[in-house]
Structure 1
Amino acid sequence: MESSQIVHLRQNFETIQPVLDNFSTLHQLWLKFVSCTGDYILTPKSKTQNNFCSLIRSHPEGLQRCRTSVQQCTHLDPDQAHLFPCHAGLYILAIPLHGEQEFLGAFATGEIRINNMMTESSNILKRVRDLDLNKVKLLQFYEQMPIRKREEMMILGKSLHAISNNFLKLGISCGNALITHNHPAKRASSKTESSLKDYSLSRSNPLVQQAVDYILQNYGQQLTLEEVARQVHLSPAYFSCLFSKEQKQTFSNFLITTRLEKAKELLQQNPFVSISEISQQIGYKDANYFSRVFKEMTGIPPGLYRKSILKNESQQT
């Protein structure tokens, strides 16, 4: 059964599925997208894995060895494409993908035979002899695999590396510039925004910060996790996981905290505005529900909170 992390990654990166399909069809290679743990996140739908590899992966130990081979992508130089041997004697063309500070995954071809770098059939059998596989079928599948030229594979790898990583860097750069342009720091000038900013993260993740800024601007609306995720172009499941990780609290808790901070200010600054009106202004249609939430979070109902604040102010004057 797949882990929730793999499912989240697949949902977040599913837009590159056509890339895998078209590339695999055009070059007759099984191009997959793998995580830093060697898990297959996306595989081409237009082409199946070669029979040789499928047979090896049918054995649990063979599957683990294949995963370990692919996991080597995380240790490769991110500035170039690589052609390296797998545990069974074939070769993997790998293109590491890196963000600003971390490894995001890699494009990796299905294992291929390379001219002048081929392993003898007898050595192939030696490499996997403990897997107890059908030797006749294994050699048959091995001989059926097309032989590729190393030079052609490296040119292909360099091209894919340049396209993917340069567009990735361009996207990050443009994304950061767009976030800065649309959400200038000077917006946090009021007392309320300054206090609310205490709940936001230092801009370690631009997408989460963009979501935080959107919430601070729109907390008075009927916000949902799905809507905010859509604003930052992430799937709801992945956004929820990323937001909780960065903010150290759930999306729901952050939204409640944001609304209640604004409610406190309104209760203090507008002594003649009804609780019902304040409830509407911060995004709660039901004033009774707002009062219950306020009491749960602060220990006292909003009306009593207002009286205590006004009493303290009058005593100070």
Structure 2
Amino acid sequence: MKFNQTSLDKDIGDILPLLDSFSTLHQIWLKFVSCNGDYIVTPKKKSQSEYCHFIRSCPEGLKRCRASVTKCMYFEPDKHYILPCHAGLFILAIPLHSNSNCIGALATGEIRISGTFNQSNLKEKVQDLNLDTKKLLRLYEKIPVIKREKIMILGESIHTISNCLIKLGIKSETARMVDQTILADINEENPLLPRNISVEWSHQIVQQASRYIYINFKKSLSLEEVANYVHLSPTYFSYLFSQVRKQTFSNFLMETRLEKAKELLEKYPTISISEISRIIGYDDSNYFSRVFKKKIGVSPSSYRHVNSQLTPP
């Protein structure tokens, strides 16, 4: 995902509704911040809390706010973290990376978690900022208290939003790349692959989808389900998958199942063909046998006869 100024200006209309909807619905200020803690995109339909705004009115408070949010930049990407801030609140954040470089984070402010700081703790934290303590405490008490369980749910929601941002970055870049026919040359083994950040993210998304298929191929698995898992539309996911994998989703799923079938045929000579068919996700064993013979060149029973690991008497 590439958040340079050009792509950001172009996609700002798509990013803002996500931040606005989340911030308004959950009454939490969600923004996109740079690696040094600067605000890049902020919601327009909800304002930052008066408490945070007051803290940041002090130069030292602003400096500490930035330092608090930048802590998450050193964590693993694509995961959500809960971090204590310097002023008695908590930050829910997801760092966003390109290659090994952090490009920023989605982060919230104004989160009070039940059973954490009290007023005496808070006074200790902010007393050296030389701000009106009574006003600070009054503004702090106006921030709603949220249970930790809900925070974890909000973290999953922000994770979904981060994938939407990834999708936006991919869409804007791949549209340009298609015009230049670069996508036609995508190959994970190709040393000449251009080190384009959207290509890196597209590979990560397809790899994430591939892992999901490897884990769930035994059940009835649809393209729509996998697309939903990686938070892309079925149409766009199908296109992206075929460009990166050089094969369709259905063909990849079939090959995954057949590879597992070959393994079972080799290692377990006593398991029936119909049972192997069921294990790998095919309810119709006749259909499985036809597909197997068409793709492998021999029937499942013939393949077993030649490749079985069981030494004949």
- Which one of the candidate residues 153, 156, 159 is aligned to 1:155? 153
Change (3 A) 1:102 1:177: farther
State the aligned residue count: 190
What does 1:1-317 correspond to in 2, within 5 Å?
11=9, 14-15=12-13, 16-116=15-115, 118-165=116-163, 168=166, 172=170, 179=177, 183=181, 203-205=194-196
C-alpha distance in 2 between matches for 1:127 and 1:10: 36
How far does residue 163 in structure 1 lie from its aligned partner after superposition?
A: 4.4
- Cα distance in structure 2, aligned partners of 1:44 and 1:89: 23
Asked if structure 2 preserves the Cα contact closer than 8 Å seen for 1:97 and 1:165, the reply is: no
C-alpha separation in 1, matches of 2:80 and 2:171: 22
Q: 1:126 to 1:171 in 2, by over 3 A?
A: closer
> Which position in structure 1 is the counterpart of 2:253?
none
The question of whether the paired residues in 2 share the 8 Å contact of 1:30 and 1:44 is answered with yes
Q: State which structure, 1 or 2, has the greater radius of gyration over its C-alpha atoms.
A: 1
In structure 2, relative to structure 1, the CA distance for the partners of 1:207 and 1:74 (3 Å cut) is closer
Output the CA distance in 2 between the equivalents of 1:12 and 1:25: 23
CA distance in 1, matches of 2:48, 2:137: 16
1:46/1:174 CA distance change after superposition, 3 Å: closer
Deviation at 1:98, TM superposition (A): 2.7
Distance 2:92 2:198 in 1: 31
Structure 1, unaligned stretches of length 5 or more? 188-200, 209-317
Q: CA–CA distance in 2 between the matches of 1:163 and 1:175?
A: 19
**1:83 Cα deviation after fit:** 0.9
Deviates more, 1:5-14 or 1:78-87: 5-14
Alignment-derived partner of residue 300 in structure 1: none
CA displacement at 1:29 relative to structure 2: 0.8
Deviation at 1:112, TM superposition (A): 1.2
CA distance in 2 between partners of 1:24 and 1:125 (Å): 28
Inter-CA distance 135–103: structure 2 relative to 1 (3 Å threshold): same
Percent identity reads 51
Deviation at 1:58, TM superposition (A): 0.6
Instruction: Give deviations 1:70-128, integer Å, cap 9, x for gaps.
Output: 11121122131111100112101112223345323211111311012x21211211111
Distance 1:64 1:170, change over 3 A: closer
Q: Structure 2 CA distance, aligned partners of 1:179 and 1:98?
A: 21
Partner Cα distance (1:166, 1:19) in 2: 9
1:24 deviates by 0.9
- 1:168 shift after superposition: 1.8
Distance 1:122 1:14, change over 3 A: same
**Distance (Å, rounded) in 1 between the aligned partners of 2:154 and 2:131:** 33
- 8 Å CA contact 1:179–1:206 kept in 2: the answer is no
Offset, 1:9: 7.9
Q: What secondary structure does 1:128 align onto?
A: helix
Offset at residue 165 of structure 1 (A):
2.9
Which residue identity lines up with residue 95 of structure 1 in the other structure? Answer: I
Q: Which runs of 5+ in 2 are unaligned?
A: 186-191, 200-313
Alignment CA distance shift 1:185-1:13 (3 Å): closer
Quick one: distance in 2 between partners of 1:156 and 1:60?
A: 30
Amino acid across the alignment from 2:194: R
Closer, same or farther in 2 for the Cα pair 1:185/1:175, shift >3 Å?
Answer: closer
Q: Distance in 2 between matches of 1:17 and 1:174?
A: 16
Give the 3-state SS of the residue equivalent to 2:93 in structure 1: strand
Would the aligned equivalents of 1:33 and 1:106 in 2 still touch at CA under 8 Å?
yes
- Deviation of 1:202 (Å): 7.0
TM-score using structure 1 length: 0.52
> Structure 1 residue 14: deviation in Å?
2.0
Q: Is the 8 A contact 1:99 1:169 kept in 2?
A: no
Determine the C-alpha separation between the residues in 1 that align with 2:49 and 2:182: 52
| Cα separation, partners in 2 of 1:39 and 1:178, compared to 1, 3 Å | closer
